[in-house]
Amino acid sequence: DKALGDGVKVAADFSKADRILALDCDFAGTDPQGPVTAFFDRRKPEGKRYEAKADAEKMNRLYAVEAAYSLTGGMADHRLRVAPAQILKVAGEIARQLGIAEAKGADAVTDANLLSWIKPLVDDLKENKGKSLVLAGSRQSAAVHHLALAINIALGNIGEGKPLAV
């Protein structure tokens, strides 16, 4: 992982993630983040399967911010297409809205359309603290990876029994 340094690997546990944000991360295709079977298991809304199961078994929600169409983005409940250079700006704005100090150096998003997409996402992530997962793609800079890590830390998503393990 670019944010944690050489030799440190993070593994996503999609079974514990009710909300997932993919920052140009095609985890269903070219950016493996760990076993994705649990993600797909929680994308099956048919039948009464989810009414009878525990809350952890309910359907997850996927947000994707990406520059080019991907398999993951195609499955997203909410997809934001931006220019490649905007991924860092969007990640920084998400972190800023969460009150993360690392975001202070990032350029602010001023576009009303972007802000109207980001605000509900941030609210949803706040409502699902400890049950969300933010992933940065392999093509992204170390800065995007650092922001994704900072967001996961701020939301309490890392640790035993959480969606992200180191």
Q: State the average pLDDT over residues 110-130.
A: 96
**Structure confidence by residue, pLDDT tens digits, 70-80:** 999 999 999 99
Work out the number of other CB atoms within 10 angstroms of the CB of residue 114. Answer: 17
CA nearest 95: which of 85, 109, 84?
A: 109
pLDDT recorded at residue 165? 83
pLDDT value of residue 46: 57
Sequence letter at residue 62: L
Q: What is the pTM of this model?
A: 0.87
Provide the pLDDT for residue 34. 79
Angle at 73 between CA 67 and CA 79, to 5 degrees: 75
Percent of the chain with pLDDT over 70: 85
